Amino acid sequence: MIVATAGHIDHGKTALLEALTGAAGDHRREERDRGITIDLGYRYIVVDAATTLGFIDVPGHERFVHNMLAGAAGVDVALLVVAADDGVMPQTREHLAILGLLGIPRLWIALSKIDRVDAARHAAVEVEIQTLLEGTGYREAPCFALSSYTGDGVAALKTALTDEAQALSERAADGHFRLSVDRAFSVSGAGVVVTGTALAGRVSVGDSLWSEGEKGQCRRLRVRGLHAQNRPADAAHAGQRVALNLAGERLKPEHVARGSWLVAEALRGTSKRVDIQLRLLNDAPRSLVHWTPVHVHLGAQRLMGRVALLEGSVLAPGDEALAQLVLDDHAHAVHGDAIVLRDQSAWFTLGGGRVLDPQAPARGRRTLARLAELATLARGGLETTLAERLESAVNGLAPEALERQYNRPQAFWQLPEKVQQVPTRRGQRLFSTSRWRQLGEAITQTLERFHQAQPDEPGADRARLRRFGMAHLEPAVYTALVDEALAIEAMCATGPWLHMSHHRVRLSAAEEALKARLWPLLEAGGNDPLWVRGLARHENIDEAQVRALLRKLSRMGELHQVVRDLFYPRATVESLAAVAVALAERDDGVSVVAFRNTLGLGRKRCIQLLEYLDHIGVTRRRGNSRYVRQESSVAQRLKTT
């Protein structure tokens, strides 16, 4: 169990921990000289072989609240220390507010220095504390009256903490490992050591972790050794104080300084934009306006940023709203993480909230669709909200992104009914069954509209159909949708053209008549047919009319347009391909010279023909030669072109 102190300066937090553990605090020279705690301190009580109490001593001075925040995340019990002679003081209130914002599950009150007051003052301070707790989630917090100087009440608190630790169930460790570093230092002969409270998952000696620090820097590290709850161990889990001896290329303590994160591979990825559910404290000194600069505290990380309100432009004290934090540096977070905001000068706490989307978008953050999605995210966890999110997810949701967002491995998911996984080139995507069915209907309707708009076209290639009416889909999702539509024969493909089964391109009577006049000329030309200009002159008609018909016949698959205004009948191209195949078998490759000598054409025309055979997939060029593609026969290539 992890216990963190909280409370006003000089209310006896460090003295209380010394009385509980027997270990002196304030080891730093400047702390002893000034008589105050400046940075975090750590102490332990070994209860039995299976139970160790870990204590985090935090500073109480207002100038060191950022250090207090670095140690308060991830603890099981917060011990709010209030001196009987002073009573409730400013930092008492601020620390209590911070504990509430962090969502610390248990709060206990330590009423210290009772040896300095009489019974009346003692009773008055207890009433003052109870009044302070009204309106918070800690109204039932137990209060332990004690004196660290005389020892009165210390044993009772220690016994209660021990009983709580033995009764406390172990935190679930089904997530991936993550730890927010609160100390980093070098140990002679061992190297770099970092400490922090394990927030999720498990870690073992030999594991690989990724450090994520300032400016999005990421390093792969190996766990060389570890301590859990101040004891050597082979493994540690969520809810324990952990010290990790790390190994990495040219690793120094500053590479994993306070505020850095150590995470498993699946949790890699930082962001400079985080969407949160923001609550302003009731006693915040003023309203929060859009784009206010703030200090952001997330785990042990502290960075600057601005608050972009997503619902209105002003947030009054005590109110809640959706907001996006636009940060000056990269941050690591997962859904549900607690965030605390302090003012730009870091003099007082404004409020805080819970992370909804740790990798928020830069655009469209105030659209109705986005606000609806954030409202859904605020209502619960992965399984609770997944079905609702999928109904509005145009491109579905990637399981890896959800695993990263919630730190919930896919092996533990319990997917709701009517959710299907769709394989794409970019991995699996989750869709609601109804949403995927709607997309299938939409793509056939889009193709029908294309046929109505372009009746003379044999169909649309994949890229053109996407631009025509499915541009909102990501390429990988769109490709999976087309492939499924073809598999179930909701549409057909002829060469590169997608079309409905009933769609056929037909020539008009005038076009049929012109084809009858031109076709014999094309066939008679053999390997060297007339160009469009020659055909038009031969028949004494306009070039544009000839060009339009030949292009239409090319789209229908009856002609091949080798270059602009040069068309070959399909049978002629097949015979040319057969020549190339024969030469490749004879000479172990097709050269321009051999192809030219066989056909008796000019070099330029032969290069044009060979490049076209490359284009339609019959051959592949390597150096000065071409080779037949082995993955399919020439006939199959021509039939699908």
CATH number at residue 279: 2.40.30.10
- List, for residues 286-323, the tens digit of each pLDDT value: 999 999 999 999 998 999 999 999 999 999 999 999 99
Same domain, 19 and 142: yes
pLDDT band at 640 (very low <50, low <70, confident <90, very high): very low
Out of 10, 57, 86, 275, the active site residue is 10
Q: Contact, 95 vs 21, CB < 8 A?
A: no
What's the Rg (C-alpha) of the chain? 36
pTM of the model: 0.79
Sequence-distant (6+) residues with CB within 8 A of 456 are 505, 552
- For 574, the enclosing helix (H) or strand (E) is helix 570-587
Q: How far apart are CA 214 and CA 491, in angstroms?
A: 51
Q: Which amino acid is at 114?
A: I
| Domain assignment of residue 510, yes or no | no
Of 267, 292, 320, the residue that ends a domain is: 267
Whether the predicted pLDDT of 633 surpasses 80: no
Whether 472 is catalytic is no
Q: Chain-wide mean pLDDT for the chain?
A: 90
The residue to which tokens 């008796």 are assigned: 600
Torsion over CA: 96, 101, 102, 104 (sign): positive
What CATH number corresponds to the domain at position 74? Answer: 3.40.50.300
Same domain, 6 and 124: yes
Q: Which ranges in 43-173 belong to alpha helices (H)?
A: 65-72, 90-102, 119-133, 154-167
Same domain, 22 and 149: yes
Question: What does the DSSP 8-state code read for residue 528?
Answer: S
Q: Contact, 132 vs 93, CB < 8 A?
A: yes
Give the three-state DSSP class for 169.
coil
Average of per-residue pLDDT across 354-365? 94
pLDDT of residue 634: 53
| Domain assignment of residue 172, yes or no | no
* For the chain, counts of helices (H) and of strands (E): 19, 33
From the list 238, 227, 211, the residue with the least C-alpha distance to 75 is 238
Out of 61, 272, 290, 515, the active site residue is 61
- For 21, the enclosing helix (H) or strand (E) is helix 13-21
Whether 57 is catalytic is no
Same domain, 499 and 383: yes
What backbone phi and psi angles, to 5 degrees, belong to 174? Answer: -85, 0
- List, for residues 321-359, the tens digit of each pLDDT value: 999 999 999 999 999 999 999 999 888 899 999 999 999
| Least-confidence region, from 7-16, 390-399, 444-453 | 7-16
pLDDT band at 632 (very low <50, low <70, confident <90, very high): very low
Count: domains in the chain:
5
One-letter-per-residue 3-state SS of 459-521: CECHHHHHHHHCCCCCHHHHHHHHHHHHHCCCCEEECCEEECCCCCCCCCHHHHHHHHHHHHH
Q: Contact, 261 vs 299, CB < 8 A?
A: yes
Same domain, 117 and 7: yes
Whether the predicted pLDDT of 456 surpasses 90: no
Q: How far apart are CA 422 and CA 257, in angstroms?
A: 42
Q: How far apart are CA 113 and CA 607, in angstroms?
A: 97
Out of 14, 92, 376, 385, the active site residue is 14
pLDDT of residue 571: 92
| Least-confidence region, from 136-150, 450-464, 537-551 | 450-464
Same domain, 219 and 194: yes
Average of per-residue pLDDT across 104-108? 92
Whether 560 is catalytic is no
Q: How far apart are CA 76 and CA 94, in angstroms?
A: 19
From the list 109, 3, 111, the residue with the least C-alpha distance to 56 is 3
For residues 14 and 636, the model is more confident at: 14
The residue to which tokens 């070098």 are assigned: 186
Give the three-state DSSP class for 568.
strand
pLDDT of residue 29: 57
- List, for residues 158-198, the tens digit of each pLDDT value: 999 999 988 887 777 789 999 999 889 999 888 999 999 99
Percent of the chain whose predicted confidence (pLDDT) is above 90 = 68
- Which residues on adjacent β-strands are paired with residue 301? 298
Average of per-residue pLDDT across 14-19? 89
Give the three-state DSSP class for 205.
coil
Same domain, 244 and 309: no
Of 210, 234, 267, the residue that ends a domain is: 267
What tokens does 23 get?
Answer: 């270990």
Whether the predicted pLDDT of 578 surpasses 80: yes
Whether the predicted pLDDT of 34 surpasses 60: no
- Which residues on adjacent β-strands are paired with residue 108? 79
| Domain assignment of residue 338, yes or no | yes
Torsion over CA: 166, 169, 173, 179 (sign): negative
Of 486, 505, 524, the residue that ends a domain is: 505
pLDDT band at 458 (very low <50, low <70, confident <90, very high): confident
pLDDT of residue 64: 62
- List, for residues 496-551, the tens digit of each pLDDT value: 889 999 988 788 899 999 999 999 999 999 999 999 999 999 999 999 999 999 99
The residue to which tokens 């997962």 are assigned: 334
Q: Work out whether strand 178-180 and strand 301-309 pair parallel, antiparallel, or are unpaired.
A: unpaired
Whether the predicted pLDDT of 405 surpasses 90: yes
Percent of the chain whose predicted confidence (pLDDT) is above 70 = 95
pLDDT of residue 169: 73
Domain span including residue 573: 515-639
Same domain, 131 and 16: yes
Whether 10 is catalytic is yes
- List, for residues 583-625, the tens digit of each pLDDT value: 988 888 999 999 999 999 999 999 999 999 998 888 999 988 9
Out of 8, 11, 13, 330, the active site residue is 13
Q: How far apart are CA 331 and CA 358, in angstroms?
A: 9
What CATH number corresponds to the domain at position 468? Answer: 1.10.10.10
Q: How far apart are CA 351 and CA 537, in angstroms?
A: 83
pLDDT band at 639 (very low <50, low <70, confident <90, very high): very low
pLDDT band at 631 (very low <50, low <70, confident <90, very high): low
Average of per-residue pLDDT across 217-236? 93
Q: How far apart are CA 10 and CA 84, in angstroms?
A: 12
